[in-house]
Amino acid sequence: NDYKKLSMQCKDFVVGLLDLCRNTEEVEAILNGDVEMNHNNGEHGRPSLSRLKLAIKYEVKKFVAHPNCQQQLLSIWYENLSGLRQQTMAVKFLVVLAVAVGLPFLSMAYWIAPCSKLGRIMRGPFMKFVAHAASFTIFLGLLVMNAADRFDGTKLRPNETTGNVKQLFRMKTSCFSWMEMLIISWVIGMIWSECKEIWSQGPKEYLFELWNMLDFGMLAIFAASFIARFMAFWHASRAQNFVDANMKDLASPTLEPNIKYYTLARINWDPSDPQIISEGLYAIAVVLSFSRIAYILPANESFGPLQISLGRTVKDIFKFMVIFIMVFVAFMIGMFNLYSYYLGAKQNEAFTTVEESFKTLFWAIFGLSEVKSVVINYKHKFIENIGYVLYGVYNVTMVIVLLNMLIAMINSSFQEIEDDADVEWKFARAKLWFSYFEEGRTLPVPFNLVPSPKSLLYLLLRIKKWISKPFMCQKKNFQEDAEMNKHERLHVNYIIKYIINILKCIIKLNASLGQRKQSSIRSSDEIHLNSLNNPPRQYQKIMKRLIKRYVLKAQIDKESDEVNEGELKEIKQDISSLRYELLEEKSQNSEDLAELIRKLGEKLSIDSKEEESKR
């Protein structure tokens, strides 16, 4: 708890510094750090934002979502497109549509002239995001179009083959269509893009990002699917070559079994056939591809919080799965041990094998399993009653307790995000934007497969650097030796001068009468010399200024919010003195009132006596 409090204090401190910034220079000093010392000014004149990267890495969400920070990010996001920032959503949508339609031409123009005005616009983070999003949308469209010929059902039934005397049936089913070739080019481009990202970030940073894991899994499954499909086509091609060389008719009774297999209908294929495996893996990869759309949702204010809630829900489900698997496996093994001896002696096959036990308990969560699953055809009531009890306890535990606990966890996570939706969304949007701030990956998939002249130039410069590195190291060693000898001579001269100065100081100290005064003057001179030798940098001046403001504000807040002990004593004394004064004034007033009543009584008695005497 103490460490958490310190962490919260540090987060509040940096947010407080951002609150006190009065101009862009101070904001940049906080977000970029000491640029003069790090010598890191970013690419293409962009600020490095090193401190902001650390804030995103350690999830300091309030710092990242601060208006000053978001303003700086917006200015970089719309780099070279400042006029687009104030446009309406309809205009931005038209820009995105135009980029999607003209993506091949824009990529070609950037490939030819990367340093032109259009090339600089293409290197902007917003245009990179639009280009990559358009490319991925086209990829999803290709996945849909690849299945368009089967929307109304396939024309070839699983038990049918095409009648061709010379061509094997599998040559038609396993060959790649032009649509599938386009999909393969997109997948290869995405694999190349991920390899470049691993190279730039490093494997450790790459694996920490969950979206990268999704991309890796999706591309690995696509690659495995296409490899399996290629293996099926390769085996069918070998069989077709054998038929073309040795046979004239596939209907020949002497057809070898390994060749005849490639003429069979789908229902007669082996379960481990490469084409069947390829189709299964391809279906999984398509599902993962469409789920990848959630990565770009934080760019929108409406869909961003929903995507964040969905991600938090997935994390809650993974936490819940630990308890769920423990309970599920316990009942699955227990029910299997109870009914494994009654195979063929039950009304159904539930719980008689591990597979049937898993299926029955899994579908029981959704209410799709029957009660007769525990009924035995023989009069073994003891086993049957235990089965009823265990099955009932399982349903109560899973459906009533654990599922409701999962729903409560999801509601709690959603409410946390909803309460702080603006901060959560801006933090997620900043993470998305930062992935496009880095240099490189300008051309979208699959145009990144074509090496640009700029890439070839960088490759040649790197090869030249690698070749000249041994010679540079040797030359550097000679220079270091020369510098070492020079520094040694300077060091000896410096020591001699230092000893002479010490002797002069001792003589002066002995000759002087005011030793304290002399020492104070000497120390002030040394401080002055140090300040002249190491003048404060602009970053240090800005940070000192901000910290002074922060400390002053904290003191003012403390004086306005808190009352010290002395002031409390003064207030108590004032209250007690006021009380005594009020009591004294009350007693004085009561005495005056009694005197007035006495005088009034006397006056009335005198008046009554005078009236009686007159009568």
Comparing 139-148, 204-213, 395-404, 484-493, the range with the smallest average pLDDT is 484-493
pLDDT of residue 191: 94
Three-state DSSP at 346 gives strand
Listed in sequence order, the DSSP H helices in 156-273 are: 169-174, 178-201, 203-208, 210-246, 257-260
Closest CA to 53 of 30, 71, 75: 30
Query: pLDDT, tens digit, for every residue of 416-468?
Result: 888 888 888 899 899 999 888 887 788 888 888 887 776 777 777 777 777 77
Does residue 570 form part of some domain?
Answer: no
In this predicted structure, the answer to whether residue 533 has a pLDDT above a threshold of 80 is no
The pair of structure tokens assigned to 47 is: 């600020």
Q: Determine the Cα–Cα distance for residues 49 and 33; give it in Å rounded to an integer.
A: 8
Distance separating alpha carbons of residues 287 and 222, to the nearest angstrom: 11
As for how many domains the chain has, the answer is 1
User: Given pLDDT bands bounded at 50, 70 and 90, which one contains residue 484?
Assistant: low
pLDDT at 128 over 80: yes
Residues shown for the chain: 615
Q: Give the pLDDT band (50/70/90) at residue 90.
A: confident
Find the helix or strand (DSSP H, E) in which 399 lies.
none
> pTM of the predicted model, to two decimals?
0.74
Phi, psi values for residue 346, rounded to 5°: -120, 165
Q: List, as one string, the DSSP characters of 71-112.
A: HHHHHHHTTT-GGGGGS-HHHHHHHHHHHHHTHHHHHHHHHH
Distance between CA atoms of 42 and 353, rounded to whole angstroms?
63
pLDDT, tens digit (0-9, with 9 covering 90-100), for 254-301: 667 788 888 888 888 888 899 999 999 999 999 999 988 888 888 888
Radius of gyration of the chain (CA): 42
Is residue 273 situated within a structural domain? no
Dihedral, 196, 200, 205, 208 alpha carbons, nearest 10: -20
Distance of CA 401 to the CA centre of its chain: 32
Residue 518 is predicted with a pLDDT of 45
The residue type at 580 = Y
pLDDT of residue 286: 94
Tell me if 444 sits within 8 A of 103, measured CB to CB. Answer: yes
Tokens at 147, concatenated:
């299945």
The lowest-confidence range among 250-264, 383-397, 536-550, 584-598 is 250-264
The reported pLDDT for the residue numbered 481 is 56
Whether pLDDT at 500 is above 80: no
Find the angle CA(605)-CA(610)-CA(614) to the nearest 5 degrees: 150
Does residue 179 belong to any structural domain of this protein?
A: no
- Where does residue 168 rank: exposed (0-12), middle (13-18), buried (19+ CB within 10 A)? buried
d(CA 277, CA 509): 93
Q: Which residue has the higher pLDDT, 160 or 223?
A: 223
In this structure, is residue 46 part of a structural domain?
no
d(CA 269, CA 366): 34
Residue 168 lies in a domain: no
Predicted pLDDT of residue 275? 92
Lowest mean pLDDT among 12-21, 241-250, 307-316: 241-250
Q: How many Å apart are CA 394 and CA 326, to the nearest integer?
A: 12
Residue 46: pLDDT over 90? no
- What value does the mean pLDDT take over residues 230-243? 88
pLDDT at 219 exceeding the cut of 60:
yes
SS3 helix, strand, coil % of the chain, rounded to 5?
A: 80, 0, 20
**Distance in angstroms (rounded) separating the CA atoms of residues 279 and 392:** 40
- 370 belongs to a structural domain: yes
Please give the pLDDT value at position 141. 93
590 three-class SS: helix
Q: What percent of the chain is modeled with pLDDT above 70?
A: 83
**Residue 377: which of 412, 349, 409 has the closest Cα?**
349
What pLDDT score was predicted for residue 525? 47
Residue 312 lies in a domain: yes
How many Å apart are CA 43 and CA 402, to the nearest integer?
52
Q: What is the pLDDT of residue 374?
A: 86
Helix (H) / strand (E) containing 28:
helix 24-32
Query: Is residue 308 one of the residues assigned to a domain?
Result: yes
Supply the pLDDT for residue 551. 87
Alpha carbons 268 and 265: distance in angstroms, whole number: 6
Residues 166/250, Cβ–Cβ less than 8 Å: yes
Backbone angles phi, psi at 453, to 5 degrees: -60, -35
Q: Which residue range is the domain that position 393 belongs to?
A: 304-419
Q: Over the stretch 316-334, which tens digit does the pLDDT of each residue have? A: 888 888 888 999 999 999 9
pLDDT of 517: 42
Chain position carrying tokens 């006495």? 598
Distance of CA 543 to the CA centre of its chain: 29
Q: Is the peptide bond before 203 cis (omega within 30 degrees of 0)?
A: no
Write out the DSSP string of 524-571: HHHHHHHHHHSPPPHHHHHHHHHHHHHHHHHHHHHHHH---HHHHHHH
Amino acid, single-letter form, for residue 475: K
Task: Specify the DSSP class assigned to residue 376.
Answer: B
The mean pLDDT value of the chain amounts to: 80
In terms of pLDDT, which residue wins out, 285 or 350?
Answer: 285
Examine the pLDDT at 515 and tell me if it is beyond 50. Answer: no
Helix (H, G, I), strand (E, B) or coil at 297: helix
Distance CA 259, CA 262 (A): 6
pLDDT over 70 at 521, yes or no: no
Residue 179 burial (CB < 10 Å; 0-12/13-18/19+)? middle
pLDDT at 451: 77
